[in-house]
Structure 1
């Protein structure tokens, strides 16, 4: 199994189905990492499961601070192994305001070296610059806690300077 990409290296490219809630509709489409190159920083949030305690707290926290990330020029994508129907229920229930991508075969988790056979994936965050280079990462061992918005904002601010 591959190891997580090192800081300073290109992030593995991928295309995944995803959805974004807008008002009362769910916009479903393909999300391609290659399509956002040149657009500014991207925060990839790998989380183990929709509507679980820690994941809910984490993604709700990031939604609450989404304007802060946008002010730093960043986009946020959440990625987990559940399908789009599960993502839509989760997003509607908690009013999540960034795209949730479905890595149902865990191919992207495997490419990022965070898949755990039989268990899913390790809770992880990768911050990519506009060229798709990994500038910061955190891969949790147990996944019982998550990186708070303050930490992510500090890392995004450091990219601007």
Structure 2
């Protein structure tokens, strides 16, 4: 897996509204990049809704939240609308970005893993949280790291 201190690999994927999202275009602000297994499953819904409910706090900390799964744009659009998600979900159909970020598979390789990366404004990975089962802990852990990154 990638390590804390590594540069975050750049990529371009399509957002929920069909526009391209390029990580390098986010320089100057932090990014919480979270990989999740599948739209509208219990753990993934809890995670997305937890990010939604605390989204303003992430914005106040200077960060954009971005979710990535292998679901297609239509699935992301439905999931976003159903749960009123204010942040982009990116369609990684072939799993190329998941591979680029070395996100491991979970449960004996049967499921895509759930990993969250906190990337600082310079594009460096500052924190990695990997847990399939503790879906909402990804939100709390990312927020704690962003608070630590704030200038004193």
TM exceeding 0.5: yes
For the pair 1:34 / 2:49, whether they are aligned, the reply is no
For the pair 1:136 / 2:127, whether they are aligned, the reply is yes
TM-score by length of 2: 0.91
Select 1:67's aligned residue among 46, 52, 56: 56
For the pair 1:94 / 2:83, whether they are aligned, the reply is yes
Select 2:96's aligned residue among 91, 96, 107: 107
Q: CA RMSD in A?
A: 1.5
SS at match of 1:131: coil
- Segments of 5+ residues of structure 1 without an aligned counterpart are 20-26
Alignment of 1:146-161 (within 5 A): 146=135, 147-161=137-151
Deviation at 1:145, TM superposition (A): 1.8
Deviations 1:35-71 (A, max 9, x none): 1112x11000100000000000000010000001011
Deviation at 1:149, TM superposition (A): 3.0
Deviations 1:59-109 (A, max 9, x none): 001000000101101100000000000000111111111000000100000
Taking the aligned partners of 1:115 and 1:152, their CA distance within structure 2 comes to: 19
- Segments of 5+ residues of structure 2 without an aligned counterpart are none
